[in-house]
Amino acid sequence: MDIYKDFIDNSINPFILFDSSGEVLEYNKEGEYILSIVHKDELFNLAISHASMSFGFKHSFIDLDIGHASFCAITVGYQDSERLGLMLHKNVCSKRIEPSQEELQSANIFTLIDIAINTNLTENTKVLAEFDTSIPEFKLNIKRFLQLLNKIFKALADAKEIFVRVTVATGRSIKIGSKKYQVILIEIRSPAVHDLTVKDDAFILTYDKERLTIELPFIL
């Protein structure tokens, strides 16, 4: 088993390998998703425009939005004239939001989620929860957050099953001013998420097929 190939296949970053004419030779799981929403010619032209002038690899830091994903950099590499590789780097390591400190109040995140679930879902929807209950109360805009949750669960009211997970995201941070905070990650999974279009500029929302994540700064 080639562990290098397995890492590429399971990377959160889309990888696509083209031939010299722009036809797709290989791709990983994330690359398959990107190819489903962007024509291969656009991605091939993106790779060509950011490729090194000579054989080798070139990293470029750019702001790029594709579908519901945001990318902060791309890597383009080729070792011969027959194959050209492109990797898009998801913008998940450090993100910026600017909440108003005056609007932040300490709250129990699990209580707020339970309120939104009980308000918008019926017994017909099975809810599976995986909560890291070691997470203490932290500060957030309670009113705005509840409004967001109500929109989400109201839109998912007809779903047969919903999985909700709350955890501390390892290796991620949110920058507010000059300070970085750990990330509280809320994951909501259901086939019904496919058609969900809820947005709120006050929060970091990421859609990935049947999965929606909300990232909150862990402000104590």
- pLDDT of 143: 92
Q: Do residues 196 and 205 make contact, with C-beta atoms less than 8 angstroms apart?
A: no
- pLDDT of 77: 94
- pLDDT of 67: 66
Tokens of 73: 């950099």
- pLDDT of 100: 63
Task: Give me the CATH code for the 3-91 domain, please.
Answer: 3.30.450.20
- pLDDT of 36: 86
| Sequential pLDDT tens for the chain (220 residues) | 578 888 888 888 999 999 999 999 999 989 998 898 889 999 999 999 999 888 999 988 777 877 667 788 889 999 999 999 999 998 765 555 666 666 889 999 999 999 999 999 998 999 999 999 999 999 999 999 999 999 999 999 999 999 999 999 876 777 777 788 888 999 999 998 888 888 777 788 877 778 888 989 899 8
- pLDDT of 54: 87
**What pTM does this model have?**
0.59
Pick the CATH number of 101-217 from 3.30.565.10, 1.10.3720.10, 3.40.50.1000, 3.40.140.10: 3.30.565.10
List the chain domain ranges: 3-91, 101-217
